[in-house]
Amino acid sequence: MRIGTVCYATDQGLGILAKDWYDHHIITDVLLFRHGARKNHPEWYPPDTKMLVDRPFNGPDVDRFVRSVDAMVFFETPFDWDFPAYCRERGVRTVMVPMYEWFPDSQKHKDLFDKFICPSALDERYFPGNPVIPPPVDPTKWNLRRFARRFLHNAGNIGHRWHKGTEQIIQAVPHLDDHVDLTIRAQDTSEFRKILRKNSDVDLSKVKVELGNRDYATLFTGFDVYVAPEKFNGLSLPLQEAANHGLAVMASDRFPVTTWLPRRCLIPVERYHEACIGRSYHKFWEAEVRPEEIARCMNELAGQDITDLSVANLLWSEENSWRVVGPRLIKEILS
């Protein structure tokens, strides 16, 4: 049985997620869609892999690809919303791994897919009755962290509504004790500079700021605690990746993080307000976390023994490994 996807080959969440599923043999066949603003990495896949450069998705190459697979998996978006129907007309199952906040609030769009595989318990609230299977991880990447010495915040591409809490991290800096060693990284330098301009009164001289792309294999090397006061994520790949590498994870104390992370160092949420990505998308509750609370949690954890948090993350990684979860994913996709 063959499972296909249309995906980016880029250094971002969607690109990394699809590559992981391909490298671990959940997805067998790939059709690439060229990203117009990022570096594309066609070398991640076999030399004969086709790359689409425009929509709609059709033509001889697309038709051959679709007819060669039994199911088509989409991560967050099909890119071309007419494409799922194209697949189903040719007898191919359509399976969506959604990001609930970016999925249109429309039954018409939900009906395009035979099944949803929810990457978090929060996504399942928007797509009820579908299986919840977080993306699997590789426990061999885990390394024990004993003490909370170095803190890391990866802003990455910043994200819509600055949802990773990067601005609040910056606003927390004046409240950090001198012994807190914090590094803030960002890939999207232009968006990050918007945050810096808005908070130009904050002195960042006592933290390290690193801009630009980093080698993914060394992203967490040398750090002990990952800090991300996220606002509305269901699935958060950065939280999963940090936990899988053995770091203690300091995130917002909100659902669904509370279903899988130890609560010892989670940051209290001040309040929630209703928000949405746009008028045609699902509404959701966005968490507000006070910078002073972020700083307090970091100050209290700095220098403390975090062995229990690191070991708990190893147990989570083993329970959610590719070896354990991979067969279930294949079964759900094809069932």
> Do residues 68 and 27 share a domain?
yes
Backbone angles phi, psi at 31, to 5 degrees: -120, 120
- What would you measure as the largest C-alpha separation in the chain, in angstroms? 62
Number of domains in the chain: 2
pLDDT in tens, 136-149: 999 999 999 999 99
Task: Assign 128 a pLDDT band (cuts: 50, 70, 90).
Answer: very high
Q: What is the CA radius of gyration of the chain?
A: 20
> Do residues 11 and 110 share a domain?
yes
Place of tokens 């929810």: 118
Pair type for strands 271-276 and 283-288: antiparallel
> Do residues 192 and 311 share a domain?
yes
Task: Assign 75 a pLDDT band (cuts: 50, 70, 90).
Answer: very high
CATH of the domain at 49: 3.40.50
Q: What is the pLDDT of residue 26?
A: 97
> Do residues 111 and 155 share a domain?
no
Positive/negative CA dihedral, 249, 250, 256, 259: positive
> Do residues 91 and 207 share a domain?
no
> Do residues 279 and 251 share a domain?
yes
> Do residues 82 and 115 share a domain?
yes
pLDDT in tens, 271-289: 999 999 998 999 999 999 9
pLDDT at 188 over 80: no
pLDDT at 216 over 90: no
- Looking at residues 145-155, what average pLDDT do you find? 97
pLDDT in tens, 308-329: 999 999 999 999 999 999 999 9
pLDDT at 262 over 80: yes
> Do residues 150 and 297 share a domain?
yes
Task: Assign 37 a pLDDT band (cuts: 50, 70, 90).
Answer: confident
Calculate what percentage of the chain has a pLDDT beyond 70: 100
> Do residues 104 and 165 share a domain?
no
Q: Which region among 9-13, 84-88, 322-326 has the lowest average model confidence (pLDDT)?
A: 9-13
> Do residues 200 and 259 share a domain?
yes
- Looking at residues 73-91, what average pLDDT do you find? 97
Q: What is the pLDDT of residue 171?
A: 98
Q: Can you state the percent helix, strand and coil of the chain, rounding each to 5?
A: 35, 20, 45
> Do residues 46 and 63 share a domain?
yes
**CA 211 to centroid of chain Cα atoms:** 20
pLDDT at 159 over 90: no
> Do residues 327 and 287 share a domain?
no
Q: Count Cα neighbours of 321 within 13 Å in the Cβ-side half-sphere.
A: 14
Range of the domain at 229: 139-319
- Looking at residues 196-201, what average pLDDT do you find? 95
Written as one string, the DSSP assignment of 296-328 is: HHHHHHTT-B-HHHHHHHHHHHHHTBHHHHHHH
Q: Please, what is the average pLDDT of the chain?
A: 95
CATH of the domain at 182: 3.40.50.2000
- Looking at residues 248-266, what average pLDDT do you find? 96
